[in-house]
């Protein structure tokens, strides 16, 4: 799917006052959500530019990063090495964790790949995933924040 087609989908969403549009074509999945969709469940309002959440790899599904206020005591899971961050174990596989998931200390949260070696990154705390701070297939540096976890 190329950018022209994605633009057509956005048009479709707007023209029909849709809140969310999900399309699956074989291994390719795309989800386009209107900016106001999360707040007003189901009721679409007219706005000028919707937020696009399209991904670069065909199998990863998208997720809106909620702009809720983050407060309280959170644990930040940081990258222990430089590499490429992956949400799942591979193409077609489910993401290890999503926002809202409960994790235990030692659970695998993601993979960081460097020089063709895949390293599983484990959680240092038990708790709930509050925020995913990087995108799938994004390059990360040492100590870069990856996940925000609300400890139990």
Give me the least distance between CB of 107 and another protein, in Å please.
24
Backbone angles phi, psi at 105, to 5 degrees: -55, 130
For residues 70 and 114, which CB has a smaller minimum distance to another protein in the complex? 114
Residue pair 99/30 in contact (Cβ under 8 Å)? The answer is no
Least separation, in Å, of the C-beta of 141 and another protein?
Answer: 4
Of residues 50 and 83, the one with the C-beta less far from another protein = 83
8 A C-beta contact, residue 85 and residue 134: yes
Minimum Å gap between C-beta 111 and another protein is 14
Token pair, residue 52, equals 């696009």
Q: Which is nearer to another protein, 54 or 114 (CB)?
A: 114
Task: Select 80 or 151, whichever has its Cβ closest to another protein.
Answer: 80
CA angle centred on 49, ends 45 and 50, rounded to 5°: 65
- Over its C-alpha atoms, the chain yields an Rg (Å, rounded) of 17
Q: For residue 138, which of 59, 57, 29 has the smallest C-alpha distance?
A: 57
Name the minimum Å distance from CB 123 to another protein: 20
Interacting residues toward another protein by CB under 8 A: 81-84, 114-115, 117, 139, 141-144
């Amino acid at each position: 799917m190329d950018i022209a087609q994605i633009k057509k989908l956005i048009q479709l969403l707007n023209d029909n006052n849709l809140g969310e549009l999900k399309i699956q074509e074989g291994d390719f999945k795309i989800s386009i959500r209107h900016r106001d969709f999360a707040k007003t469940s189901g009721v679409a309002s007219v706005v000028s530019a919707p937020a696009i959440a399209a991904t670069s790899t065909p199998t990863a599904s998208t997720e809106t990063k909620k702009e809720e206020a983050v407060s309280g005591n959170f644990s930040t899971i940081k990258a222990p090495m430089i590499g490429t961050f992956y949400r799942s174990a591979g193409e077609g596989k489910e993401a290890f964790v999503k926002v809202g998931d409960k994790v235990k200390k030692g659970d695998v949260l993601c993979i960081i790949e460097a020089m063709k070696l895949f390293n599983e990154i484990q959680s240092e705390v038990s708790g709930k995933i509050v925020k995913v701070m990087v995108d799938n297939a994004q390059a990360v540096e040492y100590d870069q924040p990856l996940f925000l976890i609300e400890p139990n």
